[in-house]
Structure 1
Amino acid sequence: MPTLRTVLSIPLLVAALLLSPALSPDTSGTATTAGSTDAVLPRLVTEGGAPAAALLDRIRTGPGRVSRYADTGPGIARTDHFRAGSITKTFVAVVVLQLAAEHRLSLDDTVDRHLPGLLRPARTAGPRSRSRSGSGSDSGSGSPPDGRRITLRQLLTHTSGLPDFTQVTAGAVPLTPPQAVGLALTLPPAPRGHYSYSSTNYVLLGMVIRQVTGHSYAAEAQRRIIAPLGLAGTSFPGSRRSLPAPHGHAFAADGSDVTELDPRVAGAAGELVTTLDDLDRFYAALLDGELLTPHWLREMKDTRAAQGEYGMGLYPTRLPCGVTVWGHNGRISGSYVRTAATADGGHVLTFRVNTDAMADHRLEPALLAAEFCPRTW
């Protein structure tokens, strides 16, 4: 997600990292990065303005793993269920890539092949526009979206040029998938072939999954990912507004309680409810090759189509120390969460705050660097 997704290369100075959170260590072990993340985590509250924050990391050590949990601020716990927003996109991308591996679809299929007539130039209007990540053009730059030219690969990599329906809804209006797509088509398109993050892409992929399999993206993700990995705290709630127990409260930027929420504000682009443990397990398994063959995992991590910004439901972040981590973030009303992992899934970190706003965007890259960069001080 664009605003918190950009990593700023900032130095980690000892003098800036002096606070300590309330800690709840996992009895299975202690991560080697404990000291540095302990210093950064409370800053998400004191400087970032979050009511509370928590993190959980997992590090492979020989045949097993050690993990460590920490939190700061009231009303947050390791076992909480929370909304994960756009981390849903990683799950949807895995389902699409598995279907491609089964030859039930091709990434080079057009949208029109699976959803004929849904995207047509006559249905959209608006001036030409440019994506934030590039000013180049191809034959489709700035032109009205046409499902006969947009491919599934472009949906996966956010290079379709489709506008983001959440620009209008601000993630607060429940919509059916056709309504979300129809709303997006009233907005000016971005240049096709250039990276421009849009939740509309993944709403369409959810529709494609149903068309190909006869089942919803939620049912396919349950069968292919959630059940095999034993992600007992992960679900797609559909229209259910409440969170499963246990859970804390979620707060909007203005401080209002938004724990109750209709997940149809996001659908296949951000419906997921999960836990810290489940997200660490999911990304570790994905990057370790448990869900995709090496060929399809390479496809997922290929960022060339998006000019290095994004793969397929995953994006890389290069930290100041030169380490590159892979993962995704998610923001939905009342929740922000980020998972990052080394390329082989051997070291995974998930952190969350119980609000969708953080006042200081430098804190996320600082926390990632504290977790994954070797300590040099």
Structure 2
Amino acid sequence: MRTQSPPAITQTKVLRRVTVTALAAALLAGTAVTAPGMAAADSSAATPKAATGQQDRPELQKATQAFVDAGFAGVQVRVHDKQGEWAGSAGVRKLGQSAKPPTNGSFWAGSIIKPVTATVVLQLVAEGKIRLDAPVAGYLPKLGLDRRITVRMLLQHTSGLFNYTGDFDPDGTYVPGISAAGKAWLDNRFRSYRPEELVRLALSKPARFEPGTDQKYTNTNYTLTLLLIEKATGRSYAEEVQRRILRPLKMRGTMVAGNRTQLPGPHAHGYYRYEEDGQEKVVDISRQNLSLLAGAGDLISTTQDLTTFISALNGGKLLPAKLLAEMRKPHPKMGYGLGLFVQDLGPDCGTVYQHNGSPPHGYGAFMHSSPDGSKTLTVSVTWVDEATRGPAKNYQKLVDRLVKEVFCGRQTAD
């Protein structure tokens, strides 16, 4: 079947009404910009470049460029397969400037920290310090948890706990939590939160369902898992991640963000656009505090480090085979195992193990791996977010196209 590229929505159309000079100057000053739109990207900056010493991969360049054509600000892509390693970027690092995103720049990786958290727990299971099917209340008695909730249920999102960033009742009524969206989040994006504070807020709300009877993706599960790791080891969560994963794998560009608000080294910028007093404003949100998502979304990383992690995990270097198999056993509702999504791409492509991530606004990331870790795809995307999600509404379609290109050798039809 003949395939087509997504309709090109050029940066000039999406970011159409502000002069480059005024916007760039305001963003460099770190201020909100009163603007009806944003500056167009330099078209010469939108062509990906293969990693040094690697052959040109036009099919990967095209799939990478598609993100920019659809209105995203910038994208970094890294592929490792039998042809070697390819890294490219497209779009712009910062609005109003022509420089492309670095091919291995740092970014807010969001929920990609969940498989990291799950891996640490399963290592503790292997060491006999935690039992996978034991009640979490036995380890953390002061929280007053339902004793039916097990460690496995936290990792698999089957605990039924309320999501502290807001959740829905069975009848569809929205129950607010700590705001992680819109202007309310923007105004509080540098606030620090303690993990126990987040968990106690969640526990103050009624459960969404009986433990083990359903599956619902909930950040509370992984923030609670952070507290479990600290209780079982007597060390901080960040120390355990560093000691068990980052240092052994030499993932020097990765860290648990904690209360850190600044991305280290070269990085692309994400933005949020909103309307106030009849005027559009654009804010650079590359600085933010992700303690709001402790253990569940507060990761800083690079495409190279995510490649290293997902390859090592699926290559059997981090967990015993039996526990890796448990991790990759999907619940039928969401296809989610213990910190990993299991995705069947069809008979011609096989199965991939993956996780995506996005802090509240402006950044997105995803990593995919073949079962043996020999073929991987890691990506970071930046955009100008807004109440309607801006170009992010096309995100999954573009992800699917790139995943198919890497793991099937072909693009998906539009």
If the TM-score is normalised by the length of the shorter chain, which range does it land in?
Answer: 0.7 to 0.9
Alpha-carbon shift at residue 87 of structure 1 (Å): 0.5
CA distance in 2, matches of 1:231, 1:211: 25
Q: Is the 8 A contact 2:254 2:302 kept in 1?
A: yes
Is the 8 Å Cα contact of residues 353 and 370 (structure 2) preserved in structure 1?
A: yes
Give the aligned residue type for 2:382: N
**Does 2:402 correspond to 1:367?**
yes
Aligned to 2:65: 42
RMSD between aligned alpha carbons? Answer: 2.3
* Residues 1:69 and 2:94 aligned together: no
Partner of 1:139 in structure 2? none
What is the SS of the residue equivalent to 2:255? Answer: coil
Q: Secondary structure at the match of 1:228?
A: coil
In structure 2, how many angstroms separate the alpha carbons of the residues matched to 1:347 and 1:213?
A: 33
Gaps spanning 5+ residues in structure 2: where?
Answer: 9-42, 94-100, 167-176, 275-281
Q: CA separation of 1:40/1:159 partners in 2, compared to 1, >3 Å: closer, same or farther? A: same
* Contact 1:319–1:365 (Cα < 8 Å) also in 2: no
Query: Which residue among 260, 273, 280 is the counterpart of 2:307?
Result: 280
How big is the shift at 1:235? 0.8
2:186 aligned with 1:169: no
Give the whole-Å Cα distance in 1 for the aligned partners of 2:358 and 2:77.
Answer: 16
TM-score, normalising length from structure 1? 0.82
Mapping of residues 342-361 of structure 1, within 5 Å: 342-355=370-383, 357=389, 358-360=392-394, 361=396
- Cα displacement string for residues 149-198 of structure 1 (whole angstroms, at most 9, x for unaligned residues): 10000000000001211222243454211211122234442223211000
Q: Establish whether residue 102 from structure 1 lines up as the match of residue 102 from structure 2.
A: no
Match of 1:266 in 2: 293
**TM-score, normalization by structure 2:** 0.75
Q: Is the 8 A contact 1:163 1:190 kept in 2?
A: yes
Tell me the residue number matched to 2:158. 159
Corresponding residue pairs, total: 332
Residue aligning to 1:58: 80
How many Å separate the matches in 2 of 1:149 and 1:14?
A: 50
**Partner residue in 2 for 1:222:** 242
Equivalent of residue 339 in structure 1, options 361, 367, 374 = 367
In structure 2, distance between residues paired with 1:279 and 1:25 = 18
Give the partner amino acid of 1:59.
Answer: D
Q: Secondary structure at the match of 2:222?
A: helix
2:373 partner SS: coil
Equivalent position amino acid for 2:109 in 1:
A
Structure-to-structure mapping, 1:108-119, within 5 angstroms: 108-119=133-144
Structure 1: runs of 5+ lacking an equivalent: 1-11, 121-145
- For the residues of structure 1 that align with 2:224 and 2:58, how far apart are their CA atoms? 43
1:189 to 207, 211, 222: 207
Shift of 1:327: 1.4
AA partner of residue 153 (structure 2): Q
Q: Whole-Å Cα distance in 1 between the matches of residues 58 and 400 of structure 2?
A: 16
1:256 positional shift: 2.0
- Residues 82-125 of structure 1 show CA distances to partners (whole Å, capped at 9, x for unaligned) of 111001111110100000000011011111111103134xxxxx
The 1:216–1:41 alpha-carbon spacing in structure 2 relative to 1, beyond 3 Å, is same
- Asked if structure 1 preserves the Cα contact closer than 8 Å seen for 2:115 and 2:355, the reply is yes
- CA, structure 1 residues 188+364, in 2 after alignment: closer, same or farther (shift >3 Å)? farther
After superposition, where does 1:179-258 map in structure 2 within 5 Å? 179-191=197-209, 192-193=211-212, 194-252=214-272, 254=274, 255-258=282-285
Do the aligned residues in 2 keep the contact of 1:50 with 1:353 (CA within 8 Å)? yes
For residue 23 of structure 1, give the secondary structure of its aligned residue in structure 2: coil
Q: Which has the larger radius of gyration?
A: 2
SS at match of 2:88: strand
Alpha carbons of structure 1 residues 318 and 256: separation in structure 2 relative to 1, 3 Å: farther
SS of aligned partner of 2:319:
coil
CA contact (8 A) 1:41 1:72 kept: yes
Q: How far 1:282 sits from its partner (Å)? A: 0.7
Percent pairwise identity: 33
Task: Quote the Cα distance in structure 1 between the aligned partners of 2:411 and 2:154.
Answer: 41
* C-alpha contact 1:36 1:371 (8 A) present in aligned 2: no
